[in-house]
Structure formats: structure tokens, C-alpha cells
């Protein structure tokens, strides 16, 4: 992936999966669409969302009506915890920014708190201080994505190095690795046996660290895998075989995939595809996928 120059004409996304291994799953630089869309759905995933807007503030809402209404949430730096429902973003045709998918178990090291303490959306300056806004200004003034990513890497590396080590419980870290290995398809009983805890004990530890249960993380991983499979098919010019994808990703049937889409996107797979086809074809849904820590 070329990172040394800015985006070529017509290119909208530049992806780096090696910015801070073990902490950040993917980093995406995104550029203007040149067109106005009505609304964009920010989908739940197994990651924390961290965005530096390099243009106008990001306008979001917990519902479509809130995002489109007179009082959306306005943030230049967005930090979001694990969510089980979509957020709604008012698209800006001139948008430009950097979006990171941060491992939830790295939240202590980077942000100084367990991911359970992060709300679905928070102003990043409130969480990180004035240094985050100074970085955003430098990113906006920097001319290439490679240089921007290097600045973000340095900022995060410095935070990790300066912060006292608060280790995540080894049972929680191992449970996360097990869930990732199974791509969200393993049984909760099998997971509990693997980490030598009762399901209740593991659920308590998980909720204290991550903020959601192992079963909810498992569903997010399975959904994310299915979404990536659908997006990959579309980006390759193929019609996604939803029934086959559902089966391959561990769903009992197509209807269960539809159920997860209804919860996590607020719509059906086919309706989501109709909304996002242009972004998918531009590689806008190729972040993430590495859930290890």
C-alpha cells in the first residue's frame, strides 16, 4: 500500500495495518467524497473508534433523526466505546480524517481507562487533553498520509510508554484471543472451560474490563466477519451470496444473519449494501479484521 504520497485522484481511502501492532488493528486515512449523502451508519465492531477530523467537525447522533436534526453531537476528535447499535453520521462531501480501530484491551494503555468506562461517543479532547487537539492541527497541516500516520504512531507510542502498566487480567486476554481464533463461533461453555473459570466468573471479569459480555463480543466478531465477507465480494465485483456467507461465518441460517444486521445496522444486509456500495467499492470497509491483542 502506497503511503508516501497523498491520495491519487479518485482515491478515497488509504489503509495501514501496522501502525501500532497489538494496540491498533487498522488505521484508515479518508478523503472527500465530492458528493452529498443523506446519512451514514457507523456500525458496531469489536473495536473502539478513534477519529481525528482534518476538516469540519464530525456530526453524529444516536438516531437518524438526531443526526439530521438541529442538535447533533459535534466533535473534532471522536472516541467511542464498544457499541451494540449503529450511530448515525451526517456526511460531509469535503470530509478528510484519520480513523483508528483500537483493540478494547489496549484501552488502559492508550486512554488510561478500561474500555467499559468509554461511552459510545465522547469528545477526544475531554478524554486525552489538549495534546490531542495539537496533534489534530499538525495532522491537518501535514501533506502526506505516511507522515500523518507517523505522527499518530508517535503520539500513541508516547502515551503507552509514559503510562504506568495496568495489565488486563490474563483470563480476559486469553478469552479474547480464543473468541478471535473462533471468529465469534465458539460456545460460551467451551470458552469458560478454556480459561478455567465458570461462565459467571468470566462474564463478571469481562464486563469489568470490556463493558459487554463475552457473548456480545462473540456476536460482534461474527457480524464483523460476515460484513467483511460481504464487502470483499462487492469490492471484487461479485454479488454476495448471503446464505453461503451466513453459513461460512457460523450463523444457523440466513435469517439469523438478518437478525444481527437488524440489531447492528438498523436495516437489512441488502438495504445496507444499497447505501454503502460506493464506499465498499472504494475500499472503505476494509479496516479491522484482526481481533487479536
Rounded to an integer, what distance in angstroms lies between the CA atom of residue 113 and that of residue 197?
24
Rounded to an integer, what distance in angstroms lies between the CA atom of residue 206 and that of residue 168?
10
pLDDT band for position 287 (50/70/90)? Answer: low
Q: Which helix (H) or strand (E) covers residue 259, if one does?
A: helix 254-265
Rounded to an integer, what distance in angstroms lies between the CA atom of residue 130 and that of residue 6?
27
Between CA 277 and CA 188, with CA 84 as vertex, the angle to 5 degrees is 115
Q: Is the pLDDT of residue 92 over 60?
A: yes
122 in the Ramachandran plot: left (φ > 0), alpha (ψ -120 to 50) or beta?
A: beta
Q: Is the pLDDT of residue 2 over 50?
A: no
E strands of the chain, at which residues? 13-16, 24-30, 40-42, 48-53, 58-61, 73-75, 77-80, 87-89, 97-102, 122-123
Q: Which three-class secondary structure state does DSSP give residue 114?
A: coil
Rounded to an integer, what distance in angstroms lies between the CA atom of residue 97 and that of residue 56?
10
Nearest CA to 168 out of 123, 121, 206, 117 is that of 206
pLDDT tens-digit readout, 221-255: 999 999 999 988 988 888 899 999 999 999 999 99
Rounded to an integer, what distance in angstroms lies between the CA atom of residue 49 and that of residue 24?
10
Nearest CA to 274 out of 259, 288, 261 is that of 261
Q: Which three-class secondary structure state does DSSP give residue 29?
A: strand
Nearest CA to 47 out of 229, 231, 176 is that of 176
pTM: 0.90
Residues 6 or more apart whose CB falls under 8 angstroms from that of 205 comprise: 169, 171, 172, 197
Query: Given this model, what pLDDT does residue 7 score?
Result: 53
Mean local confidence (pLDDT), 140-157: 96
* Lowest-confidence segment of 169-178, 229-238, 260-269 by average pLDDT: 229-238
Let me know: does 119 contact 87? Beta carbons within 8 Å: no
CB atoms within 10 A of CB 95: 18
Q: Which residue has the higher pLDDT, 152 or 120?
A: 152
Task: Tell me the domains of the chain and their CATH numbers.
Answer: 13-162 (2.60.120), 168-293 (1.10.10.60)
128 CB-side CA count, 13 A: 28
Amino acid at each position: 500500500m502506497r503511503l508516501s504520497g497523498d491520495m491519487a485522484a479518485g482515491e478515497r481511502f488509504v489503509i495501514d495495518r501496522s501502525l501500532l501492532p497489538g494496540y491498533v488493528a487498522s488505521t484508515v486515512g479518508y478523503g472527500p467524497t465530492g458528493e452529498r449523502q443523506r446519512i451514514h451508519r457507523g456500525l458496531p465492531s469489536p473495536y473502539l473508534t478513534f477519529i481525528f477530523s482534518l476538516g469540519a467537525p464530525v456530526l453524529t447522533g444516536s438516531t437518524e433523526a438526531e443526526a439530521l436534526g438541529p442538535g447533533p453531537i459535534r466533535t473534532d476528535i471522536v472516541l467511542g466505546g464498544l457499541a451494540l447499535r449503529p450511530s448515525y453520521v451526517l456526511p460531509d462531501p469535503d470530509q478528510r480524517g484519520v480513523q483508528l480501530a483500537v483493540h478494547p484491551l489496549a484501552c488502559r494503555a492508550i486512554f488510561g481507562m478500561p474500555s467499559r468506562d468509554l461511552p459510545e461517543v465522547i469528545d477526544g479532547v475531554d478524554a486525552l487533553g489538549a495534546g490531542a487537539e495539537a496533534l489534530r492541527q499538525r495532522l491537518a497541516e501535514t501533506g502526506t498520509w505516511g507522515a500523518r500516520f507517523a505522527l499518530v504512531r508517535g503520539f500513541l507510542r508516547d502515551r503507552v510508554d509514559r503510562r504506568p502498566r495496568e495489565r488486563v487480567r490474563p483470563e480476559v486476554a486469553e478469552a479474547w484471543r480464543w473468541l478471535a481464533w473462533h471468529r465469534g463461533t465458539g460456545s460460551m461453555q467451551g470458552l469458560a472451560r478454556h480459561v478455567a473459570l465458570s461462565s459467571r466468573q468470566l462474564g463478571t471479569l469481562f464486563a469489568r474490563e470490556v463493558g459487554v459480555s463475552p457473548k456480545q463480543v462473540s456476536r460482534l466478531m461474527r457480524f464483523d466477519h460476515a460484513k467483511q465477507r460481504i464487502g470483499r465480494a462487492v469490492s471484487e465485483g461479485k454479488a454476495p451470496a448471503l446464505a453461503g456467507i451466513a453459513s461460512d461465518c457460523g450463523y444457523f441460517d440466513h435469517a439469523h444473519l438478518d437478525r444481527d444486521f437488524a440489531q447492528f445496522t438498523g436495516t437489512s444486509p441488502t438495504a445496507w449494501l444499497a447505501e454503502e456500495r460506493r464506499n465498499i467499492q472504494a475500499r472503505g470497509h476494509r479496516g479491522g479484521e484482526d481481533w487479536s491483542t
